[in-house]
Structure 1
């Protein structure tokens, strides 16, 4: 029917990333949330529209492309659309391993953060979460989002890489090289190397000029090239080198090499005897 309002659309899933209990994308036209609480932190960005909400009985509003909403666990809040066309939002529900409950007071005092860099980093995190097989990248991006949130809550100042940078970077590179196919979660690498995840990523970037998830992807693409030229099928190569599936290999291989795995393999010379 002409002029009808768009229907509600929802997408939700639990990603394989420690600290994120749920990813929730929604387009609401007239939905209103009753007062409720979460056990987790509620981190939201808007892609369209605006939202009015009350947190701990104080009224707030969020709109615009550079704003972020952070609601703490255990504190009552509600929400409703502030525009006739509704709103489109992307939400991450974060457990208290990412942000401890002790930071609740700062979030209650200022739940709307106007920070274009933080908003962009959250968008990049959502993009990684939407790609099967990119959990290592998503975990890396989450560490920087959490760090930025802690800065807003007044409890964190990132440490710049010092004398230990090259040592930590080399140790992480060796770890990634030894586990290229199976991979290593960022939190496990940080525990093994006794470094904060974000600091470990900074040290690696300073030493090698790219983040560790990009380094790992490049190593996997290099291995895929060798196997493809040896006559292996792209579908088998994908899982052998550590990609989630053939589509995951196709996406990264094309970006790195400029052609698809199938075309790359087809270009190798054949024995003419």
Structure 2
């Protein structure tokens, strides 16, 4: 069961992320986080994200706008939307669902999670996946607003990508930032990290994932992965 903290238990001083991949669902993966230091830097996911708060508060920043999510409330972050989260003064417990882009009716899913939470004060994994599957629809594709800008070879420099696009380096970077909310190098790093997530979910060896996704070595992947996603590649892969 996922529920509120037991009375008298001390708050976790560091965030604790855990991931599961349900075998009987179209959900890509489920995650939980519990703690105080739940801040993550700007990142995005290839999947839609639904966050539902069980206790405490989560705050996200998207395109400069602050969103606060209270207990019993949820938030939908569409696939490939840059966002970051903030640390909180009191312990939070929340769940994340990562689903194929456009494949679930997120608003209705959040409403039913809230209804379950109000009714019994907790959400078990069976109820969570059942509620989610009740709102599965035909999977869609999120169009890339930057067109070929995001389809750059991740081994290219910004200057090479700009030349290929027939633009100046500065013009390319400005247009890229306007469409994606971040500079090219930051975006391409997150693309590589999302590729690493996909390979790790398949159980690929961490060293092989680092080499395939263009990181200098396993340690380099580990540092970047832990900073952006709050968990080491090994722990994520074990999920």
TM-score by length of 2: 0.43
Larger Rg: 1
Larger RCO, structures 1/2 (Cα 8 Å, 6+ apart): 2
TM-score, scaled to structure 1: 0.39
> Per residue, is there more helix in 1 or in 2?
1
